[in-house]
Chain A
Amino acid sequence: MFKRTCTRAIIPVALTMTGFVAVCCFLLYSVIKADITESTIRYSVDLADTIIKSARYTMLKDDRETLQRIIDNIGEQQNIRHVRIFNKKGLIMFSADPAENNRLVDKSAAGCLGCHEGPEPLSLSRDAMEKARQFQNADGEGVLAITAPIYNEPSCISSACHFHGEDQQMLGILDIGLSRSPLDRTLSLLGWRMLGFSFMILILSVGGVAALLTKSVFEPIRILDDHAQRAADGQLERDLPELEGDLGRIAKNHRRMAEQLRQARSESANPDQKIQP
């Protein structure tokens, strides 16, 4: 199999191109995946901040019913998996899931371990990317959760309805979990499209190189080889077809050699023919 020039020439080209395109595709996919994930996390952090800002007035007015309604409405959204506000002690004050209200957050749950794994919980005043955690919920679904702190502000301290001390830096935490399914679907689609695109590029480039080499080099070589074999077997009647380029020159010399051989044979077969006028 590997003795044929055609195979020997095409295998390294095909292997090199396939391998390099695959490496570039894997790296490109990894970079695009990181970029899309980062963009989704930033969008989710902005969403969490928007919820806090929208609910701030109800908190100032201590309007618990409206705040609960806001949380319920957010929780009804298709891709929201959980939304809850808990105080610094971890007591859930408002949750889209009524069963969670007035319960302590389970710090050993998959979604909490990211920050509470060590002896001291991680600080909340972190970069937007670090506010996100990714885990699988009890249903086995990937969840992207954002933990956004609700800070104490001058308006909270001076509020008439309820009071928070000036030394209290953080009043509570908003925890919102979004399904990763849309993100995973987009990434999967991107992966398949890249695979299809790479496959087409490989077919075109490797197929193109193979077709051109076959047409311009291997097929003329096969014709020359065939003719040389026939000449060696004594079948000099069949003429060599016209070839182009360097191989055309070889074919011309081949034809001349075959003609000379034919003449030499006819002379040796009829020695009298040579001395005839």
Chain B
Amino acid sequence: MNRSSETRSEMRDDPRRKCLREIRDLRSRAGRGLWAMALFLVVSLGAFSDFDFLPPLPPSWMKILGPGPPVWLINSFLVLYSFSALLLILARMMQGSETFRGFGHVGYLTGFFIFYHFSGAMEENFWAIFTAGVTILGLESYHQWVRFAEAIRKAEETLIRLEKN
């Protein structure tokens, strides 16, 4: 008897729990942008010292890789990448899409750091990649935050309604 009353209470609590779980899930998704930004800041910290804490690549590897690409080519790709990334994030904001590409952007930006490192032009171009990263990930985080803040507000309203009933 006691057991069945507990089950009934759980069933009544189930939508409430589901709602709480949803709010928790939405909150964690809203914070993904900040995790991507934190990861980028860690990579940037390493790039600021031109990855001098890492051991140099063996000469045989360097020979296989060949000389680094020309700096003007990396610069052109960085401008093209920043432009298209910002445009795509703005388009996703207009569509109200939930897609998050923050970690992918951290990967691309790390790639730019590596290319500048091997071309010996990190010192001159560090701030360009850093600003591009902060802008792209900032916009991505802002989009995620605004998008999920609205969903969290609705879920919280539902929870209040459920608790009243």
Write the residues of chain A forming the contact surface with B, with a CB cutoff of 8 angstroms. 2, 8, 11-12, 15-16, 18-20, 22-24, 26-27, 30-31, 33-34
Please name all residues of chain B whose beta carbon is closer than 8 Å to the beta carbon of A23 when the two chains form the complex.
78-79, 82, 128, 131-132, 135
Please name all residues of chain A whose beta carbon is closer than 8 Å to the beta carbon of B143 when the two chains form the complex.
12
Q: Which of A19, A31, A34 contacts B136 (CB 8 A)?
A: A19
Q: Does B82 contact A11, Cβ atoms closer than 8 Å?
A: no
Q: Does B62 contact A (CB under 8 A)?
A: no
The answer to whether A8 and B139 touch (CB under 8 A), given A16-B90, A23-B131, A23-B132, is: no
Q: Does B79 contact A24, Cβ atoms closer than 8 Å?
A: yes
Q: Does B35 contact A (CB under 8 A)?
A: no
Q: Does B135 contact A26, Cβ atoms closer than 8 Å?
A: no
Q: Which of A2, A22, A24, A31 contacts B146 (CB 8 A)?
A: A2
Q: How far is the CB of B50 from chain A (nearest CB, A)?
A: 15
Q: Does A15 contact B128, Cβ atoms closer than 8 Å?
A: no
Q: Does B75 contact A27, Cβ atoms closer than 8 Å?
A: yes
Q: Which of A12, A20, A22 contacts B83 (CB 8 A)?
A: A20
The answer to whether A19 and B149 touch (CB under 8 A), given A12-B142, A24-B79, A30-B125, is: no
Main SS at interface, chain B: helix
Interface size class of B (residues with CB under 8 A): 20 to 34
Q: Which of B78, B124, B135, B149 contacts A22 (CB 8 A)?
A: B135
Q: Does B19 contact A (CB under 8 A)?
A: no
Q: How far is the CB of B127 from chain A (nearest CB, A)?
A: 5
A26 to B79, alpha carbons, bound, how many Å? 11
Q: How far is the CB of B86 from chain A (nearest CB, A)?
A: 5
B71-114 to A contact mask, C-beta < 8 Å, 1/0: 11001001100110010001001000000000000000000000
Please name all residues of chain B whose beta carbon is closer than 8 Å to the beta carbon of A27 when the two chains form the complex.
75, 78-79, 125, 128
A248 to B136, alpha carbons, bound, how many Å? 37
Please name all residues of chain B whose beta carbon is closer than 8 Å to the beta carbon of A15 when the two chains form the complex.
135, 138-139, 142
Please name all residues of chain B whose beta carbon is closer than 8 Å to the beta carbon of A16 when the two chains form the complex.
86, 90, 135, 139
User: Can you report 18 residue pairs joining A to B where beta carbons are below 8 Å apart?
Assistant: A8-B146, A11-B142, A12-B93, A12-B139, A12-B143, A16-B86, A18-B135, A19-B135, A19-B139, A20-B82, A20-B83, A23-B82, A30-B75, A30-B121, A30-B124, A31-B72, A33-B124, A34-B71
Q: Does A34 contact B139, Cβ atoms closer than 8 Å?
A: no
The answer to whether A30 and B149 touch (CB under 8 A), given A16-B86, A20-B83, is: no
Please name all residues of chain A whose beta carbon is closer than 8 Å to the beta carbon of B146 when the two chains form the complex.
2, 8
Please name all residues of chain B whose beta carbon is closer than 8 Å to the beta carbon of A22 when the two chains form the complex.
131, 135
Q: Which of A12, A18, A33 contacts B90 (CB 8 A)?
A: A12
Q: How far is the CB of A24 from chain B (nearest CB, A)?
A: 6
